[in-house]
Chains A and B, each alone.
Chain A
Amino acid sequence: MQLFKRTFKLQRNALMRLLIGSTTLIVSFGAYCSYQVVRNAMLESLKRNAFLEVEQGGDDLEHWLAALKIHVETLANTAAVKSMNWQTAEPYLKTEILRFSDVYSIAIGKSNGWRNVVGGTPANVSDRAYFQKAMTGNTNVSDPLISRAAKTPTIVVAAPIWQTLDTSSSPSGEIHSLVRLDRIAQVVSSIKYGDKSYAFAVNSAGEAIAHPNSALLLTMGRPAPKIVESSDRNLAAIARRMMDRQQGIELVLLDGAWKYVAYLPLKEADWSVALVIPRENLESQLQALDIIAVAIAGLAGAMIAVLWQVQAIEQGQLKKSNELLEKRVLERTGKLSTTLEQLQQSQLRLIQSEKMSALGSLVAGVAHEINNPVNFITGNITCAHRYTQDLLQLLQLYQQYSPNPPAQISDHAAEIDVDFLSEDLPKVFASMRMGADRVRQIVLSLRNFSRLDEAEVKPVDIHEGIDSTLLILQHRFKSTAHAEVQIIKKYGDLPLVECYPGQLNQVFMNILSNALDALEGKDSGGGTIQIITQQPNPDQVTICITDSGMGMSEEVQQRIFDPFFTTKPVGKGTGMGMSISYQIVVEKHQGLIWCDSAIGQGTTFSVKIPVNRGKVAED
């Protein structure tokens, strides 16, 4: 049952742990998934924002370029420009240069490629792509170039000049405004997304047209290096996609750090603009979420820990209470078995006492029955002795006064040996008297021992009890196999002791018969039994019975007063003798009984009982 319970408990604990563990796992997994979903959604939204930023910047750039284009187209449609007369056009163009802040100069090219420019000398630009495009009727924005007039990195916005409204005809010339390259850089650099972010733009050839790193830009001394051919493969890959007019936002490793790059192609020019954002700028806004997630994870962890702890404590308490319960059960069981044992003992004692009482009654009855006939014998034996003396005196007188009797008498006298008879008869009587006396003595002892009539407490001479007991055991002193057992009595001067004499006699009986057994157990067979009585103080008497027997071991001594403990062979002892003695002395008489013994050196049983029961009770 206990084992089953324990197994069940173990199973329940395992189940509980499994349940908590799996719930924790499921919840954690769910929380982690939710966190990832939310984080991704937020990141997407942030990326969209970043992309919107580059779109916004692109839009600004587009508007700026569109304004430049419209400006040039508008100029191309003015009469002054259409006239293709430089003297007419130049003053007008000058005011336009002043008016339009981004334009540093304006030029008008004729169809043969020769152009006049404000603040510069005429030159042929027929080799320039912007010129060729404009002459095919397209307004266009050039890639960065070094202006032949100002010798500075420039972009050119060129538009065709038509004399009529028919734009399908070939233009009569072109007009182009010159814008410094760094103007684009200014516009592009205003696109930002937090600290350390920067924007750059590339043209269709993959060259930088605006970049915070001026080494990547076109200068007077050298052409612009191509970003697509950059040693930074990630940057080159981005530039390639920008050249292919793709748009998007991606996380790449640039200059040794992870950065988001959002890129977008422009419509007004064959350019693409990109915004480089340090990863943390974008993801810093996820920090709150991350912190919350970490906090929740921490809380969950703490909760789990607490749950485990609580469970552990509960289990500990359960275990403790179980142990307590088991301990109590054991205690109760112990008590019950002790009680049962006591019950059995008292039952046995009852039986024994019944037996003893029956035996006592029997002995008392027999003693009484024998007492009367013995009294006849002892009472009459004196008379019989006197009568026979008288008869013997008469016979002597006959012999004296008739010395010659008839033959028949003298024959008979010879036959019965009258002389011997008269000599032996007193001896016979003495012997008979002695025998009768002994019978009387035994009967007295039996009565003394059983003391049926003395179940009450009464003052008794202890010595009388001891003597009676010895008398009853007399036969055993003589029947000892090898040698005589010598009884040494050292009786002190004892007062009458208030006690249950019958019961006390039983104690002496038990001790003495054990002493005899001990002597019999010895190899030599014989020995001494010394009985010492003393009155160490006025209230108590001690009776010490020492035998010179084989002695007892420590273990035996410890158990000597236990019920049913015996060292005797089966059938010889009940194991109750000393137990009953102990009860009689300790419980009935409020006395003490103990033994001192050593193997091979004999045993001493000491009994100490109070002289006056009332006095002890008062103590």
Chain B
Amino acid sequence: MLLTSLAHGCVNQPQSRSSLSISDNLLNQIKKRGYLVVATEDDYPPFEFLVNGQPTGFDHELLERLRKVVPFEIRQEILPWQGILPGVASGKYDVALTAAGITDERSKLLDFTMPIAESTIAYIKRKDDASIKTLRDLSGKTLGAQQGGVSFAAVPDLEAKLKQQGGALGQVKQYRNFTEAYQDLLNGRLDAVLHNIVSLSVLVDEKPAIFEMGDRVSRKSYAAWAVKKGNQPLLDLLNGFLTDQREQGDLKPLQEKWLKISFENLPTQPLLPGERPIQ
């Protein structure tokens, strides 16, 4: 009796600080174990990365904010990307607190929160290349994309868009990593590099003297946090937190600080590429 009233006291206090509501069931589960485990990536700037061994980045800062409004401990596991989503799907971690692209395949195993950023594919060009001013100008140009990556998967979208505008897709070169692609862009072997809009924004912000940002080339797609399929209480908690961040206007400065781009009007539901709702 005393314990439950104490527990209520613990729950009520943080709730009174923010509008964050937590289901009793979830809270009891977490309290039973003592903490919530979130998985973040070790090297995914600007979302999550390490500086001098200290985790930092967009998601890390959001995590710090989340810690302040929940009445329980949150443990952070930092691991390579490959281990994160399987770990969450298997229940090893509660949340994939990383910018995971919302895809059809992943949505079968995981439930996504509302998007934290766009993961739409865009392009960059050399700063001094005056021949490319709009998307239409990519027609016939040599493009670089990651081998087997999301950027390469966006090529059909681009092709469709170019066709729509009366252009044609030029040569598309595939690269193991983007460093080589950027190098080739710089020395003229490529005219544009396709990559997700956030990575490109950050790059252009860092190297404004050599690169320039281009338009989105693919359908809009989004990145969000993920929980194990069916963990609705936790999903509600995270969505509540993200909604607060958005409504209080805290998310936009954070995007500008880390992502070097801000996304107006992110959907409040996780949407599959092409803004399709998850069935």
A binding-site residues for B, Cβ under 8 Å? 60, 91, 94-95, 97-98, 101, 104-106, 117-120, 149-150, 186, 190, 192
Contact = CB atoms under 8 A, between A and B. Distances in A.
Contact of B208 (A91, A95, A98, A150): A150
Interface stretch (B134-142, B153-161, B182-190, B240-248): B182-190
Contacts of A101: 206
B52 A190 contact: yes
13 contacts: A94-B186, A94-B210, A95-B183, A97-B210, A98-B186, A98-B207, A104-B208, A106-B209, A117-B209, A118-B209, A119-B127, A119-B209, A149-B209
B209 A190 contact: no
Contacts of B182: 98
A192 B208 CA distance: 31
A95 B184 CA distance: 9
B210 A118 contact: yes
B209 A95 contact: no
A190 B57 CA distance: 12
A482 B265 CA distance: 148
Given A104-B209, A105-B209, A118-B209, A98 B54 contact: no
Contacts of A118: 209-210
Contacts of B183: 95, 98
A95 B189 CA distance: 13
Interface string B200-234: 00000011111000000000000000000000000
A186 B45 CA distance: 14
Given A95-B186, A98-B182, A119 B208 contact: yes
A150 B51 CA distance: 26
Contact of B54 (A97, A105, A190): A190
A119 B207 CA distance: 9
A104 B186 contact: no
Main SS class of interface, B: loop
Given A190-B51, A190-B54, A95 B187 contact: yes
Interface string B124-140: 00011000000000000
7 closest A-B pairs by beta carbon, nearest first, are A119-B209, A105-B209, A190-B52, A118-B209, A190-B51, A94-B210, A94-B186
Given A94-B209, A150-B208, 6 more contacts: A95-B187, A97-B210, A101-B206, A104-B207, A104-B209, A105-B208
Contact of B206 (A60, A94, A104, A120): A104
Nearest to A95: B186
A78 B210 CA distance: 20
A60 B52 contact: yes
Contacts of A192: 54
Interface string B46-63: 000001101000000000
A98 B184 CA distance: 11
A97 B52 contact: no
Interface in B91-135: 127-128
B155 to A, nearest CB: 24
B209 A97 contact: yes
Contacts of A117: 209
Nearest to A91: B187
**Which among A98, A104, A105, A186 has the greatest number of chain B C-beta atoms within 10 A?**
A98
Nearest to A190: B52
A104 B205 CA distance: 9
A97 B51 contact: no
Contacts of A98: 182-183, 186, 207, 210
Contacts of A120: 209
B75 to A, nearest CB: 17
Contacts of B128: 119
A548 B174 CA distance: 156
Contacts of A149: 209
A190 B53 CA distance: 9
A244 B208 CA distance: 37
A150 B187 CA distance: 22
A95 B187 CA distance: 8
B125 to A, nearest CB: 13
A421 to B, nearest CB: 141
